[in-house]
Amino acid sequence: MPLNATDSTAERALLVTVVIGQPGRAMSRGAAQARDAAAATSNLHSAVREDDSRLVEFRELVISAGAGIAGEVVQRRPKADPATLVGSGKVEELSATAASAQADVAIVDHDLSPTQLRNLENALPCRVIDRTQLILDIFARHARTREGQLQVELAQLEYMLPRLTGRGKAMSQLGGGIGTRGPGETQLETDRRRIQRRVLQLRGELEGVRRIRTQQRQRRESVPVPTVALVGYTNAGKSTLFNAITRAGVLESSRMFATLDPKLSAIQLPSRRKVLLSDTVGFIRDLPHTLVTSFRATLEEVRKAEVLVHVRDASSPMREEHKAEVEKVLGELDVLDKPRIEVLNKADLLSEKECASLAAGRGIVTSAREHTGLEALMERLDEELVQDPVLEQRFQIPQSEGDVLAALEAGAVIRDREYEGNLVRMMVTGPASLLGRYRRFRLAVR
């Protein structure tokens, strides 16, 4: 089986879920509250449910990486085993399962230290990869722009480097005497140096790409159009919502991390104000650290946005956990103080009763798939945008000023139009910037 399987030759993956800690202990506060609310269920019950949802997410990740599922093993341990994560007894069992399932790769839904990875690879009859590598692989498949591809490659190499070092060390310990310094280590040294050179080269190229991007942004910002960024957990429906609002045709996919590169599109709000809407990369629990730093630049759109729209999958049993995770990343990006609108998406998958109880809150209930709730979202956006606020003013314009009339009609809402001779009087509701441009035609309020 090739190392990098393509879609047509899907690798057979053995899924290894390892839950460290007591049942229910690893939950976020949000999830714990949700659990307490459902007091009738026992701790163990909800822990099992949580494991289920984690397993579902894990399976989706594996499928998004293009692999097929050959088998699943779940292990709960009070503590991680430093040598193998799962403990030596379990390693034997894994090895047997991997052999009988004819797995090409065992994927562990946990991060593995260089030592753990090495020990597991030695014990199992197949390759072993951890959660970070899995996510990096999905990112590598989905990166479309040059910047995205450079970022992923850089993150992959940075992940690999300490793991090469680990193996190099083990080899030199193994040798340790004259004449035992084999070609293996020399090869590793060369590999390491080659990787380090490539890392430097990638950093340089990325800097160049980012410079261009910053210039583009600055040019955009010289015409002050506020941006609104859609943020949220992967698969929440951001791209579907983006398309429903803009009809821009961004890729929507049940695969996770379908969107890696931010997409921007201009939209007009009910007030006729224009804003730029940006679709961004999704977040996930335990996003590999290397990726968080790499994608920081891509998430610049989030940092520059005036308003954030947090899109949530209201139908997911993990929604509280997802929310906590998204807020954690927003905190890391230092944007928690921005106005934020909560969108409870996938309402079509909920019962009427559930929708009604959601609608009672501040969040906006939508179905991006069925295009419901979009108007309410647009209205809320109008309320939250403070830059370039909407004003209502009376204007008197000579009919000969066709350009002015056309500009106001395109960019504002006009009512109470009266004609007197060659003059038009009207109430205009629109963005301050637009109205300010034609203030010479303003009428004092009667």
**Interacting residues with ligand GTP (CB under 6 A):** 232, 234-240, 252-254, 256-259, 282, 345-346, 348-349, 367-369
| CA separation for the pair 99, 433 (Å, rounded) | 68
Minimum CB separation of residue 345 from ligand GTP in Å reads 5
What is the DSSP code (8-state) at residue 403? H
Residue showing the smallest CB distance to Mg ion in the complex: 259
In the complex with ligand GTP, which residue's Cβ is closer, 309 or 435?
309
How far, in whole angstroms, is CA 426 from its chain's centroid? 45
What x-and-dash track marks residues 180-219 binding Mg ion by CB under 5 A?
----------------------------------------
397 touches 358 (CB < 8 A): no
348 binds, among ligand GTP, Mg ion, none (CB under 5 to 8 A by kind): ligand GTP
Measured N-to-C along each axis, helices 146-174 and 183-222 cross at an angle, to the nearest 10 degrees, of 160
Say whether residue 240 binds Mg ion (CB under 5 A): no
128: left (phi over 0), alpha (psi -120 to 50) or beta: beta
391 touches 430 (CB < 8 A): yes
Say whether residue 258 binds Mg ion (CB under 5 A): yes
Say whether residue 84 binds Mg ion (CB under 5 A): no
In the complex with Mg ion, which residue's Cβ is closer, 46 or 234?
234
Single out the segment in contact with Mg ion by CB under 5 A; choices: 30-38, 201-209, 250-258, 334-342: 250-258
Identify the H or E element spanning 431: strand 423-431
332 touches 37 (CB < 8 A): no
274 binds, among Mg ion, ligand GTP, none (CB under 5 to 8 A by kind): none
In the complex with Mg ion, which residue's Cβ is closer, 104 or 279?
279
Minimum CB separation of residue 319 from Mg ion in Å reads 17
Minimum CB separation of residue 242 from ligand GTP in Å reads 7
Contacts with 277 (C-beta within 8 Å, 6 or more apart), sequence order: 227, 228, 229, 230, 242, 245, 246, 264, 265, 266, 267
Say whether residue 259 binds Mg ion (CB under 5 A): yes
Q: Say which residue the tokens 């822990």 belong to.
A: 47
In the complex with ligand GTP, which residue's Cβ is closer, 105 or 135?
135
Give φ, ψ of 33 to 5 degrees.
-65, -45
Say whether residue 239 binds Mg ion (CB under 5 A): yes
By CB under 5 A, name the binding residues for Mg ion.
238-239, 258-259
